[in-house]
Amino acid sequence: MRKFNVNVNGQNYVVELEEVSADAAVQAPVAAAVSALAAPAVKAPQGGVKLTAPMPGTINEVKVKDGQSVKEGEAVIVLEAMKMENDIAANASGRITVLVQKGSTVNTGDVLAVIE
């Protein structure tokens, strides 16, 4: 055993450490597998105008229903990014197909909805 004096936040401690031979093997801890619950994939319609995420964040609210008519400039989704809520407005008028749901995490450029 070897003794060491250690100072932590102004407090002195005596620590004893046991020396081990070079043959000793230490296993690194392995993190448990985490299963993420992903939102079901929704196939985007082929035509129409795509409404994309301007920044990464989390969908806080979807203000419209799938198939609803929207007008250009109307707030349709609330995206939380950097602790701020950002209204995402429709970039065209028409019927909207929403591809995200509340709680979804999105990256910049992800398609949030399609307006036909």
Model confidence over 69-115: pLDDT tens digits?
999 999 999 999 888 999 999 999 999 999 999 999 999 999 999 99
Looking at residue 18, its pLDDT comes to 81
Confidence (pTM) = 0.60
Closest listed residue to residue 116, CA positions, set 100, 98, 93: 93
Q: Regarding the domain delimited by 49-115, which CATH topology (the fold level of the hierarchy) does it fall under?
A: OB fold (Dihydrolipoamide Acetyltransferase, E2P) (2.40.50)
Compute CA distances 25 → 17, 20, 77, whole Å.
17, 10, 54
Q: What is the largest CA-CA distance in the chain?
A: 77
Q: In terms of DSSP H, where are the helices of 23-95? A: none
Domain boundaries, given as residue ranges, for the chain: 49-115
